[in-house]
Chain A
Amino acid sequence: MERDFEEIFQDKIDQEIKIEPKDWMPEKYRQTLIRQISQHAHSEIVGMLPEGNWITRAPNLRRKAILIAKVQDEAGHGLYLYSAAETLGITRDEMYAQLHSGKAKYSSIFNYPTLSWADIGAIGWLVDGAAIMNQVPLCRSSFGPYARAMVRVCKEESFHQRQGFEILLTLGKGTEAQKRMAQDAINRWWWPSIMMFGPTDDESPNTIQSMKWKIKRFTNDELRQKFVDVCAEQIKILGLTIPDKDLKWNESTGHYDFGKINWDEFWQVVQGNGPCNKQRLETRKKAWEEGAWVREAASAYAEKRKQKQVVTAA
């Protein structure tokens, strides 16, 4: 019986028919999606922290307004994704608990610090650029609520990348010191950004199943290569350099070759030993704990108003 269901399910996937929350699905499909969507949501939420760090110090009002709007978008993206994950049967509070206990991960990139204003440019260009590369194919993900959330996310994400590129472009045309600052930011963010696509294909055992279920459409290495190819061209417009001496156009493959990724660093950060892991989680937990009274007060107020309505109706 289970077998039949699974065949019907795979048949739908193969025909590009979306899976909706109340449809039958294999337990592992459900669990994989809960893990992936909630991690994605956590990344959006934690991702507000490094950028929020610069809101009060943005160089002018225009940049400040843009940065506030961007950080607010990230909150929105987190909320779209949390509600998509909830359709699979996990509650919001369970997801928060998993984040706070360290059971659920978020993108390691947000465990790096934002040391200068140019980092806001580098995050927009590289981190959001890598995120978009990952997210565009997710708009066609087989699970309906995830795909629909990603369509909205991608529409909004485009401005994030453009504003970042614009910051770097401006700094790149500025004084020597500004140029140095932009280059320094790119030097620090480049490698972590290309690590965002995850381990290489032969180190990523779940990829095959996720591709069969059309949760993923491209492998980590395919997406990483696309991203490197795009950035290698865009850096020329910035008049800056990508910190990889092995980055070179390869006529025969039609792609850029690039240097060896420091996977040891990647795993160190995933395991909690990045520069800011502890600080990020503590900030999240503090916000949740110190916001408890607000949640309680709002519930109490809603309850009181409901009681009043009952009395009036009677």
Chain B
Amino acid sequence: MSNTEWPLWEVFIRSKQGLDHKHVGSLHAADAQMAIENARDVYTRRMEGVSIWVVESKYVHASNPAEAGALYDPANDKAYRHPTFYHLPDEVKHM
């Protein structure tokens, strides 16, 4: 028991109402409640947040950077998904 590290948790903070939670870093804690309390002390000493999420790091699944090329390839050649792709006369307003 004495040689086990407390698990690692990823911390997400909502800086104010209306904004998304954003990843800020990680910390160790024995359980979720302690992770939230530690996150308050480590990541919100200056009112940086109004809400905290913690997720045990082992539950985060990530895409593989080595496969980024293939993974994002389908979006690569579809410029027509962006509004600037379309050339309209200057007379058209509010579009």
- Interface residues, chain A, with chain B CB atoms under 8 Å away: 20, 22-24, 69, 72-73, 76, 79-80, 83-84, 86, 91-93, 148-149, 156, 292, 295-296, 298-302, 305-306
Tell whether, in the assembled complex, residue B25 and residue A80 are in contact, meaning their CB atoms are under 8 Å apart.
yes
Pairs across A and B, CB under 8 Å, 24 listed: A20-B65, A22-B64, A23-B65, A24-B65, A24-B66, A69-B45, A73-B45, A79-B42, A80-B25, A80-B42, A84-B25, A86-B26, A92-B5, A93-B5, A295-B2, A295-B30, A296-B1, A298-B30, A298-B31, A298-B34, A299-B6, A301-B30, A302-B31, A305-B31
User: How many residues of B are counted as interface, with CB atoms below 8 angstroms from the partner's CB atoms?
Assistant: 22
Known pairs A22-B62, A92-B28. 6 more at Cβ < 8 A? Answer: A83-B25, A292-B2, A295-B6, A296-B2, A299-B6, A299-B30
In the assembled complex, B4 has its CB within 8 A of some CB on chain A: yes
Tell whether, in the assembled complex, residue B30 and residue A72 are in contact, meaning their CB atoms are under 8 Å apart.
no
In the assembled complex, B55 has its CB within 8 A of some CB on chain A: no
Inter-chain contact total with CB atoms closer than 8 Å: 56
Q: Which residues from chain A contact B3 at a C-beta distance below 8 Å?
A: 93
Q: Which residues from chain B contact A20 at a C-beta distance below 8 Å?
A: 65
In the assembled complex, B46 has its CB within 8 A of some CB on chain A: yes
Q: Which residues from chain B contact A292 at a C-beta distance below 8 Å?
A: 2
A17 to B16, alpha carbons, bound, how many Å?
29
Tell whether, in the assembled complex, residue B8 and residue A86 are in contact, meaning their CB atoms are under 8 Å apart.
yes
